[in-house]
Structure 1
Amino acid sequence: MPKTKHTTMGFAVFHAEKMSASGAGLGNHIDRKEGHEHTFQNADAGRRHLNQAFAVTGHCAKPLHTAITDRIAEGYTGITAIRKDAVRALSLVFTGTHEDMKAIEADPERMKQWLKANHQFVAQEFGKENVVRLVLHLDEKTPHLHAVVVPLREGKLTAKTILGNKKDMSQRQDRYAQAMAPFGLSRGVRGSKAIHNAEGWYLGQQQQAQEAVLCDLPRLTALDRLNPAQYEQQVQKRFKSATKEKTDAAIELRRREQQLQAQERQITRLQQELKAVKSRLSILQETVTMFVKSLLGRPVSEEEKKVMDVYANSYKKAEERKLGEKQEERPKKGRGIGL
């Protein structure tokens, strides 16, 4: 598999979200459905032909809400009826740091391998038979892959079991980072909810998710005309959900900005410490050379200089290792519940 040309690794991004609604709104966004352009306002219509949809299962060709319903009907063997508020699907997004994803996109073979690795990850983690959508979007700022899976296991809808607890989700992030390592993408900050690419891309996704909730409003039926109060309650519930999406996005952006500022301050401090270490090392080398020269009563030979350089480099590496360990440490205060 071709390796990345980057000297530093960017971040691998895997985001999972539960879906209890029908999925029609999200389907309009993923499938770029005509007449629902308000759900993908950030997309470039001139690049839409570059998007790719993959027929992982027969359900992938159906409208998303139908695909989810059909997969549940096909695989659910439970005795009790499925609750109306049950999680019927999981929306998954796979991407990475903007610059790295654009570099992958520029190399058709690397993009092919990246897609293959993500496809395998989805199949292994959630079951190939549960995939009802797998679509690559190249018409937005950062290339990303959408997957929608139905959380069926042993005939039961069990999103809670499949996603697991905080430790399980963190380990899944580890496995994803391992799968993405050949593409120059590494594990993000532990305990962080941040998506490590452009904040604008993330906010665009949040805005589209909000609009998806709104466009998924229940249709007014003949029965609703007889009981308008019940229909009004359903509409109000969807609007409250959309408002919450918007508020959560604003809070999350502020949290991420603060986290980024803290990390930038930490990097600046570490760079200053490294500069000071190099300065001390230079002075130390000069001092040792002068001391040896005085002790020997003659100039230091080239062979003796090599020996001193070996010790100096060992000291330098030890100091850089200490700084690297400091850089990996993250402040615990202000963290949200992350993956």
Structure 2
Amino acid sequence: MTAPAAPAYAVLRVHAKKAKTMAAISAASEHHMQSEPSPHHDPRSGAPLVLHLAAGKTPYQAARHLLQGVERRNRETVLCREVVLSASPGYFRPGREEQAGVADPERLKAWTVATLAWVRRQWPDQVASVVLHGAGRESTPHCHVLVVPRVRADGGCKLNSKALFDRARLRELQSSYAEALAPLGIRRGEPGSEAKHSEVKQFYGVVQAAKQMPRRAPLPPAPKAPMPPAKLSVRVWSKMLGVLGIESDHDRAMRAHRQQLATWRQEVRSIMEQNEQAWQTLRAAASFAPLARKGHHAPREPLLAPPAPVRLQPRHQPPR
């Protein structure tokens, strides 16, 4: 019986760190455009896809354009907020959630269109940029959105981040985004959930640890068994010597082969133990803490699955 598919949830996250300087906006822009190499980006998968720019050629230029002529109260005024939009991996690759970097093209297109339309309706005068990090570059597709929190006041515009991103407004954004994705079968998460996810630094630490681990040691080839004598006369002579208790050349070769085979099995077993120890070390690092939600803990399986066992089997069995 096929297990029911896991529900897909809308993902909306507003970065807690607020951009109060142009340098912070520049750093966010470089991250969105992935100007600098990152350990979890595949450079062969192409550049991020820019879906919207208010002006210019980069998110930084777009945000700077929207900030022109806007009243700024002091240095602590928030210039820009960053929003990340996505959905559960099960939506992009149903039944293949564990295959990071994979997404169904039609599902990705439908989610991208719905997300971009929602962003433009939600912040028609404030959205500076929308950049898609699609499948291949990231584990799960998502959009980075830069929002300049400018509001109209006294015939002009001023910056007011609280008016757009206070606690009540954040709950409304979660519900509104989920409603926009409802036709795709994506629902809203549990309101008021206090789920705590593993730190991003911990995840990147595991990625770096995996890259720095030595390659899995290859298993040496099994020693080949000596071929029996080709000539009938030699085979008959060997059997006669065996009856008399005398060791023939072929018998000596077979005895040496058995010794080599025993040495080979011991070497392979040692290599497999080393590989298993390295695997357990990486697996322990990837076993993140379980999610904590409203006072109870839900167990969570490790991110990595154990490797398939390797059976010791020589390439050529010696003839009996």
Which residue in 2 is equivalent to 1:92?
83
8 Å CA contact 2:10–2:88 kept in 1: the answer is yes
1:152-207 deviation per Cα after TM superposition (whole angstroms, max 9, x unaligned): 1111111101123x333212211111111222221112213548xxx57x716997
Query: What's the CA shift for 1:8?
Result: 4.2
Aligned amino acid, residue 167 of structure 1: A
Tell me, in whole angstroms, the C-alpha distance in 2 between the residues paired with 1:153 and 1:116: 26
8 Å CA contact 1:43–1:140 kept in 2: the answer is yes
8 Å CA contact 2:10–2:86 kept in 1: the answer is yes
Which one of 39, 45, 55 corresponds to residue 47 of structure 1? 45
- TM-score w.r.t. length of structure 2: 0.54
Q: 1:194 to 1:67 in 2, by over 3 A?
A: farther
Which residue in 2 is equivalent to 1:21?
21
Aligned amino acid, residue 90 of structure 1: R
Aligned residues, how many? Answer: 198
Output aligned runs, 1:54-203, within 5 Å.
54-59=51-56, 61-62=57-58, 64-74=59-69, 76=70, 78=71, 81-103=72-94, 106-127=103-124, 129-138=125-134, 139-154=137-152, 155-164=157-166, 166-192=167-193, 194=195, 203=200
**Unpaired stretches in structure 1, ≥5 consecutive residues:** 1-5, 209-252, 266-339
Tell me, in whole angstroms, the C-alpha distance in 2 between the residues paired with 1:116 and 1:193: 30
Query: What's the CA shift for 1:7?
Result: 4.4
Q: 1:58 to 1:65 in 2, by over 3 A?
A: closer
Larger Rg: 2
Tell me, in whole angstroms, the C-alpha distance in 2 between the residues paired with 1:100 and 1:66: 33
User: Which structure has greater helix proportion?
Assistant: 1
8 Å CA contact 2:92–2:107 kept in 1: the answer is no
Q: 1:126 to 1:207 in 2, by over 3 A?
A: farther
8 Å CA contact 1:91–1:148 kept in 2: the answer is yes
1:217-236 deviation per Cα after TM superposition (whole angstroms, max 9, x unaligned): xxxxxxxxxxxxxxxxxxxx
8 Å CA contact 1:19–1:88 kept in 2: the answer is yes
Q: 1:31 to 1:117 in 2, by over 3 A?
A: same
**Unpaired stretches in structure 2, ≥5 consecutive residues:** 206-287, 300-320
Tell me, in whole angstroms, the C-alpha distance in 1 between the residues paired with 2:127 and 2:147: 4
Tell me, in whole angstroms, the C-alpha distance in 1 between the residues paired with 2:105 and 2:189: 25
SS of 2:41's partner is coil
RMSD value over aligned CA atoms?
A: 3.1
Aligned amino acid, residue 32 of structure 2: I
Which one of 287, 292, 295 corresponds to residue 258 of structure 1? 292
Aligned amino acid, residue 54 of structure 1: L
